[in-house]
Amino acid sequence: MTDQSLAPDAFKRIEQTAQIHGISRPSLSYWQDAWIRLKANRRALYSLYLVVGLLLFTFLGPLIWQIDPSVQDVDQISQPPFASRTVQLVPEYQPWYPSDELSGTGLNFVAPPTTQYVRLTWDKNPAATGGYRVYRNLFPIGVERAYGLPLKETGVAENFFEDRLDLKPRNYFYSIVALDDDGNELHDQVETIEGEVIRVMAPREAISRGMLDADEAPVFGTQYTLPLHPLGTDYLGRDMLARLMHGARVSLFIGFFAPFIFVLVGVAYGSVAGFLGGMTDQALMRFADFVVALPFLLFMILFKVVFAIGPGESGIMPMLLAMVLLLWPATARLVRGQILQIREEGYISASRLLGAKTNYLVLRHMIPNTMGVILVTITFAVPSAIFTEAFLSFIGMGVAPPTPSWGSMCNEGIKTMLTTPHELIFPALLISVTVLAFNLLGDGLRDALDARMRNRE
């Protein structure tokens, strides 16, 4: 024992001085500091811009681009962006009953080919004892003798043909193949003609489109311009841009709403488990393990059945429910671990010694200290939820057909991937960019919100 004399002086209050240490830098709160470090992270910052841009696209976009996403423009089906939009006014379609005295100048178009009809005539071929077969191709006939799509077998006396099958403004190759008595093709008796089909419109349609007044006399041959579709149209002639904007709503609704709810559930569950500890913690966490083991897709299907949602009806609610019910354990585990750790920290004990109540401890110390983890979980949950929605809509379990969603748009686009790739590329690009932006942002947030990195310049 050392000899220590305690003089009354030792218990005298120290006088407060104006400034003990000079604070060399401005005082920064946790959030201010995080924001500064997030700004320093270029990747994260650009991702943030992208996310903001995406929100504007989704919520302001439809106010600017006021096109109904379910309106079908039958004249512009599967139209890529920047395609020609001119259309010529022609008389209403009149059935064609050709007389026998058609000109004998070989295979020829009777009238300029239009989207209304393509009328062909050819010289009678004495070798064609079984008539003719008319083919249409989108590509030149090569050595393979692939004439394309067979359209009709005409009789021996019928040396004319009218094509009206789904004509698009593009080049077509028509082939007339002579047939022998048994209906076999005579490959040396083939004539082919190429024609560029121009887009035309009859007055009735022009009136319904509002390009022509009902009492106005139509001037045939006039050029009109069809409505603009900046990103083209889909297989039913619906505007891609409008559909992407409306589709984003579904994607972002699921993307924000589902993670928000299940993260909230997870935080509450995890903090209770972590804070109470012991047997309660054990029981709660084993239940969480049980939920983790439940297969998501199966539950999604079960909910669809339980809610009597048939094929062709929107599966958004069961999707949301399945996500909320099944995806919270990950957050709960994370938060529980964090709380367990914080509970043992010195400042908690100190706070407790100073008489802090449970409420105060949880709200003042524990939740704010897990905030970083929670935010990061949300930012990573958002892209995964968007992706889940896209995936489920892609396999046909998401939104019902008239409602667009990026996933269902991809699903529709993939069928015509090789011929009209824009129908797949745009929604797929948006999904990729969104998911990437959220992931990079989450990455940046994690770095920014990590208190231990606070002092690292």
Partner 1 sequence: MSDVNYTQPDGEESFAKAAGKQLLGFGLATVVFFGLLMWGLQTLASMVGSSTVSAKAVDAENQSITIAIATEPPQMDSTLATDASSGMILGHVMEGLLRNSMDDKIEAAIAERWEINATQATFWLRDDARWSDGEPITAHDFVFAWRSALKPENASEYAFLLYPIKNGRAVNEGDLPYTELGVRAVDDQTLVVDLERPIAFFDKLVAFPTYLPIREDFYNATNGRFGADAWEMLYSGPFMITSWVHGSSLLLERNPYYWDQDSISLQQINIGYITSDGTAKLNFFKDNKIAFTTLLAENLTNAMAQRWHIERTQDGTVFFLDFNHRPDHVTSNRNLRKALQLVLDMEELVYKVTKLPGYIPGESLFPTWLQGVEDKFRKEYPAPELILDRDEALRHLELAKQELGIDEIPELILLSGDNPLSSLQSEWVQEVLRTKLGISVKIDKQIFKQRLAKMTAGEFDMVLAGWGPDYDDPLTFGDLYASWNKNNRGLYNNPEMDRLIEQAQNSVVPRERMETFAAIQQLLFDDVAQLPMYERGVTFVIHPHLKNVKQRVIGASTDFTRAYIDTTAY
Give yes or no for residue 95 binding partner 1 (CB under 8 A). Answer: yes
Nearer to partner 1, 168 or 343 (CB): 168
* Least spacing, CB of residue 297 vs partner 1, in Å: 20
**DSSP assignment of 41-105:** -HHHHHHHHHHHHHHHHHHTHHHHS---TT---TTSTTPPTT---EEEE-PPP------S----S
Q: Report how many residues bind partner 1 under the rule CB under 8 A.
A: 29
Nearer to partner 1, 419 or 455 (CB): 419
User: CB under 8 Å to 279, separation ≥6 — which residues?
Assistant: none
In the set 31, 82, 93, 109, which binds partner 1 (CB under 8 A)? 93
For residue 276, what are its two tokens? 């109470």
Give yes or no for residue 145 binding partner 1 (CB under 8 A). Answer: yes
* Least spacing, CB of residue 261 vs partner 1, in Å: 36
Residue carrying the six token digits 């690009």? 429
* Inter-helix orientation angle 42-59/240-276, to 10°: 120
Give the CA angle between residues 106, 109, 110 to the nearest 5°.
Answer: 100
Site for partner 1 in 220-279 (CB under 8 A): 235
User: Distance between CA 84 and CA 226 in Å, rounded?
Assistant: 9
Nearer to partner 1, 39 or 170 (CB): 170
User: Distance between CA 252 and CA 268 in Å, rounded?
Assistant: 24
Nearer to partner 1, 138 or 297 (CB): 138
Give yes or no for residue 146 binding partner 1 (CB under 8 A). Answer: yes
- Which of the 8 DSSP states describes residue 452? G
In the set 101, 166, 188, 215, which binds partner 1 (CB under 8 A)? 166
In the set 40, 56, 165, 294, which binds partner 1 (CB under 8 A)? 165
CB-count exposure of residue 15 (10 Å: 0-12, 13-18, 19+) = exposed
Window 400-439: contact mask with partner 1 (x via CB under 8 A): ---------------xx-xx--------------------
Alpha helices in 293-401 (DSSP H): 296-306, 316-343, 346-353, 358-360, 367-394
Nearer to partner 1, 149 or 306 (CB): 149
In the set 19, 21, 42, 97, which binds partner 1 (CB under 8 A)? 97
User: Distance between CA 366 and CA 351 in Å, rounded?
Assistant: 12
Residues paired with residue 162 on neighbouring β-strands, in sequence order = 119
Site for partner 1 in 173-192 (CB under 8 A): 182
Segment near partner 1 (CB under 8 A); pick from 33-41, 156-164, 318-326, 381-389: 156-164
Give yes or no for residue 170 binding partner 1 (CB under 8 A). Answer: no
Q: HSE-up of 435 (CA within 13 Å, CB side)?
A: 18
Give yes or no for residue 143 binding partner 1 (CB under 8 A). Answer: yes
* Least spacing, CB of residue 362 vs partner 1, in Å: 41
Residues near partner 1 (CB under 8 A) are 93, 95, 97, 137-139, 142-151, 155, 162-166, 182, 204, 235, 415-416, 418-419
